Amino acid sequence: MKVFYHGHSFVKIESQGKTILIDPFITGNTLTDLKVDDVKPDVIIVTHGHGDHLGDTVELAKKHNALVISNFELATYLSWQDVHTHGMSIGGAYQFDFGKVKLTPAFHGTGLVTENKEIIYLGMPAGVLITLEGKTIYHAGDTGLFSDMKLIGDRHPIDLAFLPIGDNFTMGPEDAAYAAKLLCAKRVVPIHYNTFPPIKQDPHKFVEMLDSGVGQVLEAGEFIQI
């Protein structure tokens, strides 16, 4: 299984002939190495409804008849746009044909800001645990540090964790390093940094805060094989 990082919080998993995207923010993402036409997903998982995470989900899902997995409210909103969806809620898990998905808490905002100066409520933000090929990947989504990350790590041995480090909107490097200890993840990759001025960070300094051999900085397009 190959797990790619494509800038901001965009992660791609290639497993047993399936392509799974998490938060496919491509259009407007100055740090990604991809274009929308480069990606052919079978499944898209969206952690929450902000534009830099929902990204190009609707276009990609329609073009490739991909299944979109998200919280129930966001899934309902996307279904109204003729997208094939599967809605879930925090703490719930479901066994799909490609693997098991479970939504975890994430402490963050929610909603889509429209051009009409409206905010559309799109359900609770989430992190996601994906278990496939006997491995578990944790994508924390956008979140601050919270103590129940220890519970997540105790209940689900994590092979690879993607943690936001940008600060301002999410955890900063120090809190993310503490989160890594709570989660006891075997490997940790920083995400959600340097895309916008308020979230400028040095990911290498973050990795230095972690136990030796745990952290790894991925440039856009690089992958980890697990």
Alpha-helical (H) ranges within the chain are 51-54, 57-64, 72-79, 149-155, 173-183, 203-209
Cα(133)–Cα(98) distance, rounded to whole angstroms? 9
Rounded mean pLDDT, 167-179: 98
Q: What is the pLDDT of residue 194?
A: 98
CA distance 126 to 108: 9
Which pLDDT score, from 0 to 100, does residue 102 have?
Answer: 98
Q: Which amino acid is at 136?
A: T
Across the range 109-123, mean pLDDT stands at 92
Q: What is the pTM of this model?
A: 0.97
86 three-state secondary structure: strand
Burial readout 149-162 (b: 16 or more C-beta within 10 A, e: otherwise): beebbeebebbbbb
Chain-centre distance for alpha carbon 49: 12
Binning pLDDT at 50, 70 and 90, where does residue 174 land? very high
Model pLDDT for residues 59-76, shown as the tens digit of each residue: 999 999 999 999 999 999
Query: Tens digit of pLDDT for each residue in 121-153?
Result: 999 999 999 999 999 999 999 999 999 999 999
Mean pLDDT over the full length of the chain:
97
Q: Provide mean pLDDT across the span 162-172.
A: 98
Q: For residues 140 and 150, what is the distance between their CA atoms, to the nearest angstrom?
A: 13
Q: Give the residue ranges of DSSP H helices in 65-216.
A: 72-79, 149-155, 173-183, 203-209
For the chain, give the percent of residues with pLDDT over 70: 100
Alpha-carbon radius of gyration of the chain: 16
pLDDT band at 23 (very low <50, low <70, confident <90, very high): very high
| Domains of the chain listed by start with CATH number | 2-219 (3.60.15.10)
Q: How many whole angstroms separate alpha carbon 195 and alpha carbon 199?
A: 7
Under the banding of pLDDT at 50, 70 and 90, the label for residue 202 is: very high
What are the residues whose beta carbons fall under 8 Å from the beta carbon of 85, sequence distance 6 or more?
67, 68, 69, 70, 75, 76, 78, 79
32 Cβ neighbours under 8 A, 6+ residues apart: 6, 7, 8, 10, 25, 26, 220
- The SS3 call for residue 59 is helix
pLDDT attached to residue 56: 98
